[in-house]
């Protein structure tokens, strides 16, 4: 009871702190605020999965959610906003993320409870929620909402993995964990695939040593993992298929090269102050991992040692060849793997408090407390703005990498690249605001326009001149007149917006319809996801009826 009450007080204290600060002034807050605001504005049950957000970039629109994982923002728009419509955007963002934060703690508890008694599982789950990289770095410093929410599904996927390994009844949890990871943060899901592969190899080797059918285990793991990918196909298939139609190369400029962020003989990473914080996170984890590896045994020990070893390898220069030559380089930052180090540390702490002697438990408690304080001190010394709330102002910027190539090319003549720095992105926002004003001036008396998420209706008031629209150009827009004849939709070279070219004979007052039609990848992805869920429900229903019949017969 004392352990549970202490865990409750810790989580409650952190929870109050999260709401007190609001949306932290972290690295990605300038994206997250307008993303959340415009996702809420665009979402309704007639458009339950917004991909194009018309309000981004000063109402030019943004295509960000064709590519960025939607689940954290979908939860905010579909559930938090209806419940708390009078709440600020900052509060809604915090509330949505707190749900994933608490889910992560709960799933970690369930996973640990497979191996240790209740008090150890409670302590480990609590530690999982307050570890420095998870709480301080991901939430306050980086404001990495997708990665922060993905934490919830790492222990769930691990639980499903163990169910498959032990031939349990809840193998489907692996599918839900995989789908959740993908729908929260694709880079974390891609990294997770590598950790799962290593865990599968170790488990298969252990099975073969014990005479167990390891082939059946591998096939079953692959099957349930594939189901998870199929469930989330409505998101990742368009994100992969359409990536070359936006400025995705902005994600892989020199600043984002993984090899530049590795630790070796020199401390020369692009952001040395931030890397001090990463070093602190790793350093304070090592004693707990060491003690936990001795306090644990069997599969739990593997779940502690293997992720920790992989994370240390991936963040050292020993892994440079891998980062340079394998698709993992698209993850950008090796330190993103620390989400798995935190999981290992949580398991180690749970094992210590469940199995170790009192003096070891006390020492470990001091280490956890010291770890949080040390990282907090490192953060405070290198980034005193970390604990301040985000001042939203009137920013509506999206991610530069999701601008159309035509729009980015036009903006690059007015704002000097690279666009990594926040100041450069804000200059871009100012330029777009100026461009929008000029387009409105140029188009006075030329047309009336009514724009929604994927449909734009234009009533031309002139006949034989092109129409400049204040909408970001993208090659997927198609235009046609009310009589069904298509018209040319071309990029404006100066602004990167849409120009409508008059057809032969002029517009003649005919209404123009612009649409972002469903791409084949959206259709196929949705069919795969819906059909997979439908088949799973049928299988579950059939199994339930079968079990009821057997029970009735007996």
Task: Tokens for 324, please give them.
Answer: 């340079």
Q: Could you give the 3-state DSSP secondary structure of residue 352? A: helix
- Check whether the bond before 243 is cis (ω within 30° of 0): no
With CA atoms as reference, report the closest residue to 187 among 51, 22, 24, 314.
314
Residue 176: what pLDDT? 96
Helix axes 118-130, 338-355, angle to 10 degrees: 150
The pLDDT of residue 209 is 55
How high is the mean pLDDT of the chain? 88
Cα distance between residue 383 and residue 139, in whole Å: 14
SS3 477: strand
Can you give the pLDDT at residue 334?
94
pLDDT of 173-222, one tens digit each? 999 999 999 999 999 999 999 999 999 988 887 765 555 667 888 999 99
Q: What are the residues facing 5 on neighbouring strands?
A: none
Domain coordinates in residue numbering, the chain: 1-386, 403-517
Distance CA 177, CA 183 (A): 10
pLDDT band at 21 (very low <50, low <70, confident <90, very high): confident
pLDDT number for residue 295: 84
Enumerate residues 6+ apart whose C-beta is below 8 A from 523.
Answer: none
Handedness of CA 144, 150, 155, 157 (dihedral sign): negative
Q: What is the mean pLDDT of residues 461-467?
A: 86
- pLDDT, tens digit (0-9, with 9 covering 90-100), for 302-317: 999 999 999 999 999 9
Please give the backbone phi and psi of residue 111, each rounded to the nearest 5 degrees, phi first.
-65, -50
Give this prediction's pTM.
0.92
Give the 3-state secondary structure of residue 321.
Answer: helix
Contact by Cβ (8 Å): 474, 490:
no
Lowest mean per-residue pLDDT among 77-91, 254-268, 438-452, 513-527? 254-268
Of 243, 229, 186, which is closest to residue 528 (Cα–Cα)? 229
Q: pLDDT tens-digit profile of 324-345?
A: 999 999 999 999 999 999 999 9
In whole angstroms, what is the distance from residue 17 CA to residue 22 CA?
A: 8
If we measure between CA atoms, which residue out of 160, 147, 229 comes closest to residue 188?
147
Residue 553 scores a pLDDT above 70 = no
What CA–CA distances, in Å, run from 420 to 27, 72, 253, 424?
Answer: 11, 24, 9, 7
Is residue 190 classed exposed, middle or buried when 0-12, 13-18 and 19+ CB atoms within 10 A define those classes? middle
Q: Phi and psi dihedrals of 218, rounded to 5? A: -65, -45
Question: What SS3 state is found at 231?
Answer: helix
Separation CA 95–CA 115 (nearest Å): 31
Give the residue with greater pLDDT, 275 vs 348. Answer: 348
Range from 49-53, 257-261, 368-372 carrying the lowest mean pLDDT? 368-372
Out of 283-287, 317-321, 423-427, the most confident range is: 317-321
Q: What is the pLDDT of residue 365?
A: 65
């Amino acid at each position: 009871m004392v352990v549970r009450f202490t865990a409750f007080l810790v989580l409650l204290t952190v929870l109050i702190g999260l709401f007190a600060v609001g949306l932290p002034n972290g690295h990605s807050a300038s994206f997250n605020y307008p993303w959340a605001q415009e996702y809420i504005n665009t979402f309704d049950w007639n458009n339950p999965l917004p991909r194009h957000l018309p309000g981004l970039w000063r109402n030019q629109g943004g295509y960000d959610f064709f590519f960025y994982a939607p689940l954290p923002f979908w939860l905010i728009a579909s559930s938090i906003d209806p419940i708390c419509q009078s709440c600020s955007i900052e509060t809604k963002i915090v509330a949505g993320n707190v749900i994933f934060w608490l889910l992560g703690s709960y799933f970690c508890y369930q996973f640990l409870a497979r191996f240790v008694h209740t008090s150890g599982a409670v302590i480990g789950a609590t530690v999982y929620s307050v570890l420095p990289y998870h709480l301080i770095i991901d939430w306050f410093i980086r404001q990495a909402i997708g990665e922060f929410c993905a934490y919830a599904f790492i222990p769930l996927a691990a639980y499903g993995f163990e169910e498959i390994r032990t031939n349990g009844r809840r193998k489907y949890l692996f599918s839900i964990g995989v789908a959740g990871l993908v729908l929260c943060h694709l880079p974390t899901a891609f990294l997770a695939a590598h950790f799962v592969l290593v865990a599968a190899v170790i488990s298969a080797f252990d099975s073969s040593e014990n005479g167990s059918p390891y082939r059946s285990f591998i096939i079953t793991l692959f099957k349930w993992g594939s189901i998870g990918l199929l469930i989330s196909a409505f998101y990742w298939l368009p994100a992969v298929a359409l990536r070359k139609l936006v400025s995705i190369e902005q994600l892989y400029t020199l600043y984002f090269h993984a090899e530049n962020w590795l630790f070796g003989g020199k401390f020369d990473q692009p952001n040395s102050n931030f890397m001090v914080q990463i070093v602190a996170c790793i350093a304070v984890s090592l004693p707990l991992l060491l003690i936990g590896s001795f306090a644990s045994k069997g599969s739990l020990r593997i779940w502690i040692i293997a992720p920790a070893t992989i994370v240390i390898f991936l963040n050292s220069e020993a892994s440079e060849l891998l980062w340079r030559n394998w698709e993992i380089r698209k993850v950008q930052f090796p330190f993103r793997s620390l989400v798995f180090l935190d999981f290992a540390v949580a398991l180690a702490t749970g094992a210590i408090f469940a199995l170790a002697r009192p003096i070891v438990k006390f020492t470990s408690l001091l280490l956890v407390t010291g770890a949080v304080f040390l990282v907090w001190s490192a953060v405070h010394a290198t980034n005193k703005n970390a604990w301040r709330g985000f001042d939203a102002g009137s920013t509506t910027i999206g991610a530069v990498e999701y601008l159309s190539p035509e729009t980015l090319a036009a903006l690059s003549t007015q704002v000097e690249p690279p666009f990594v720095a926040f100041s450069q992105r804000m200059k871009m926002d100012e330029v777009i605001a100026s461009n929008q004003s000029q387009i409105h001036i140029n188009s006075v008396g030329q047309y009336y326009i009514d724009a929604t998420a994927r449909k734009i209706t234009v009533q031309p008031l002139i006949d034989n001149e092109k129409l400049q629209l204040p909408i970001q150009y993208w090659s997927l827009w198609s235009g046609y007149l009310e009589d069904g004849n298509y018209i040319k939709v071309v990029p404006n070279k100066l602004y990167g917006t849409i120009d409508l070219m008059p057809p032969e004979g002029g517009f003649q007052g005919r209404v123009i319809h612009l649409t972002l039609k469903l791409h084949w990848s959206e259709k196929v992805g949705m069919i795969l996801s819906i059909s997979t869920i439908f088949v799973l429900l049928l299988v579950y229903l059939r199994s339930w009826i079968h079990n009821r019949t057997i029970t009735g017969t007996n």
